[in-house]
Chains A and B, each alone.
Chain A
Amino acid sequence: MGKKITGAEMVIQTLHDQGVDSVFGYPGGAVLPIYDAIFQQEDVKHILVRHEQGASHAAEGYARSTGKVGVLIVTSGPGATNAVTGLTDALLDSIPIVCISGQVPTHLIGTDAFQEADTVGITRACTKHNWLVKDIKDLPRIMHEAFYIARSGRPGPVLVDIPKDIQFAEGDYEDLSKTTHKTYTPPNTIDNKAVARVVDLMERAKRPIIYSGGGIINSGPKASKLLQKFVHKTNMPITSTLMGLGAYPGSGDNWLGMLGMHGTYEANMAMHDCDLMLCIGARFDDRITGKIDEFSPNSKKVHIDIDATSINKNVEVDISIIADCGKFLNEALKIMDKRSNKFQSFNEWWKQIELWKKVNCLSYKPNSDVIMPQYAIQRLYELTKNKDTYITTEVGQHQMWAAQFYKFDKPNRWLTSGGLGTMGYGFPAANGVQVAKPDALVIDIAGDASILMNIQELSTAVQYQLNTKIFILNNSYMGMVRQWQQLLHGNRISESYSDSLPDFVKLAEAYGATGIRVKKPADLDDAIARMIDTPGPVIFDCVVANLENCFPMIPSGKAHNDMLLGENVSDEEVANAIDDDGKIMV
């Protein structure tokens, strides 16, 4: 044992030993000793956010773009409660983050002390695990366990609540970064016989489909490579959830586009009509399945997931394998190599898929006077696809258009709030990416309403001269809310008009950033080029067609083969698309 160090110093030492180079945080009374320790070292860079929710999403952005664990530091009480949204977001999207929160000193816990909140109580439901440290002897073990649990198995958020007296207390520190956990043992083996049975099913299948998800991304870049090899070898069509975009290239030959509520016609029809569904690292979420008793009625279903609770949760499957997705793909490829398989010809199946593709479900009416939001994303894609680009989004119509029209060829390049659907996620997440990848082009595709939820983080971006770009599809509405009001509530547009929007160009300038506004399609390309070339943060206010809606769409309560297509939908069809059963759903 070396010399004794303080709890606050142990926190910083743990970050160092865990290979963390940057943390996001906001100081306050109950974390002052940790901030004092931060001040006295240079290993770990601290990024000062302007709101703790911003810190939580920035940590998520850092984690998702690098595959490493993201870290945030917040004070007790309001600091911790402000981080709750980001922790919940990370829980639903399986993102590894460690939140270190200050707490009032141990002798004041339970007395309703100033800035006291029952942080472990509040965050029990939105973390994978959390700890209140009551003894300095436990701190090194708990800190390292926190990192281990955050990144192992199905990744997720954890929180370590450290009372102020523990931060001041002195104790022995030991680097435990290589240790695991006594009870938490995520699966690290795979049932080879089950994998062989999956390959058997593949050999018999005539209309197979791969439905992949965020589990491939979380498994690491190697899993994405294996997935591409797997698709190439089998010639199966592949679709993916919102979370899984980029694992298989969006420009790849077998790519059908995203599936689900705003997925492509071909992807959803293929899911409905397939005879074998390989679900790899996805979880049959309600945005994916639509009406569950009409979900892919005639298929054998295989589910690979590292988390046993995902199996048979929403959809009963024929074969389940609880394992890492990359491990499954590797094992399946090995078996296929050994067998030199005879797969069925999928020619008929691909012919059918080509017919569905001809529906051209993403088509929209071009316009030379106003910018169509879809066109804006298409131009953004064309002008950034050859650069080292990362895209984040907020939540709403712009998010779905980004998922539909931006093609992701690599994993970890697409960061969006899928499970929780958090407006205000994209911009702080983009800052987190930019901190991890200083030379990359990082763009937050935003809506005019979402961006205002965490606009204060522009101050952070200016302080650290992050090059983060905010690309606002400005239609002066909470577009997705309005779309549902049109579908469900007789076009009564209740409180979803963005009244009194700020002048985004002046807003950018007020923060010390750059603002660009575009209103005409003809000016779009030049303006995007200017945005890319402008150093520092930029708000790009792209004024788009006000009333455009996001299609295709599976209305709530309907099955995959019951989609509303965009260009030809009449107002009447929109008004009657959802029946009474569907209306109760979200």
Chain B
Amino acid sequence: MNKKNPASTYDIISINEDDERHTLSIIVDDEPGVLARVIGLFAARGFNIDSLTVSETESKQQLSRITLVTSGSPSVIEKIKVQVDRLVSVHKVSDLTADYGQYGALERELALIKVKGTGNKRLEALRLAEAFDAQTVDASLDSFIFQITGRTREIDRFINLMASVGLTEVSRTGVAALKRGADNT
């Protein structure tokens, strides 16, 4: 949240808490408009959405999982969790931030990265892709599309490197996450 534009007209104290990145797993009824309810809440209350992934996960029970990455001070994160949990269509909100809970949680993201170039740049792009375990999923005489899977930070690093060897386009899935260990998220 922008501290210079306080959420409440009277909230003129500046909170000196550092922002944290949190991954929230939100289990919702798979019904029309449910995503709009969740993101509408974020928009209305001025909360951040850094990435968002939605898919039906248990079709028999008609449940969907929304995996949402947000950032804010610890008190804002707490507000986000109770606000989301209050929505009638929400079954459960879990904080899947990597260092959270007994075993922590696992996060993965997939990205498709298009690189355009010839000569040395093209070779360098291929070498970097190999070093990052990225797959080449499409190739033409002057372009590649790489597919990379991993944690958000690794993908960020890969994309930053690709910038100097002809990066033209990126498409990312957003984060998928589950709690580690035998217990359900």
A: residues with CB less than 8 A from B are 120-121, 124-125, 128-129, 132, 149, 181, 183-184, 286, 289-293, 307-309, 311-314, 316, 556-557, 581, 584-586
Contacts and interface: CB of A to CB of B under 8 A. Distances in A.
B93 to A, nearest CB: 11
A40 B9 CA distance: 52
Nearest to B36: A124
B44 A125 contact: yes
A286 B82 CA distance: 21
Given A292-B12, A293-B12, A124 B40 contact: yes
A47 to B, nearest CB: 29
Contacts of A312: 75, 78-79
Nearest to B13: A293
A106 to B, nearest CB: 12
Contact of B88 (A183, A286, A556, A585): A183
Contacts of B9: 286, 556, 584-586
A124 B29 CA distance: 16
Interface in B86-102: 86-91
Contacts of B85: 308
Nearest to A130: B33
A437 to B, nearest CB: 31
Contacts of A585: 9-10
A286 B8 CA distance: 8
Contacts of B119: none
B29 A183 contact: yes
A581 B12 contact: yes
Nearest to A129: B88
Contacts of A313: 79
A181 B36 contact: no
Contacts of A124: 33, 36-37, 40
A556 B12 CA distance: 12
Interface in B21-46: 29, 32-33, 36-37, 40, 44
Contacts of B142: none
23 contacts: A129-B87, A149-B88, A183-B29, A183-B88, A183-B89, A183-B90, A184-B88, A286-B9, A286-B10, A289-B10, A290-B10, A291-B10, A293-B13, A308-B86, A312-B75, A312-B78, A313-B79, A314-B10, A314-B11, A557-B10, A581-B12, A585-B9, A586-B9
A120 B33 contact: yes
Give the size range of B's interface with the partner.
20 to 34
A557 B6 CA distance: 14
Contacts of A308: 82, 85-86
A444 to B, nearest CB: 29
B34 to A, nearest CB: 10
A125 B91 CA distance: 19
Contacts of B44: 125
Contacts of A290: 10
A314 B8 contact: yes
Contacts of A316: 75
Contacts of B168: none
A585 B8 CA distance: 9
Given A289-B10, A291-B10, A132 B83 contact: no
Interface in B62-96: 75, 78-79, 82-83, 85-91
Which 5 residue pairs of A and B lie closest in terms of their CB atoms, listed nearest first? A129-B88, A286-B10, A293-B13, A585-B9, A308-B82
B91 A183 contact: yes
Contacts of B36: 121, 124
A189 to B, nearest CB: 17
A128 B78 contact: no
A126 to B, nearest CB: 10
A584 B5 CA distance: 11
Nearest to B75: A312
A557 B37 CA distance: 33
A132 B10 contact: no
A184 B40 CA distance: 19
Given A129-B87, A311-B82, 6 more contacts: A183-B88, A292-B8, A308-B85, A309-B86, A312-B78, A556-B9
Given A125-B44, A183-B29, A308-B85, A292 B10 contact: yes
B88 A291 contact: no
B100 to A, nearest CB: 19
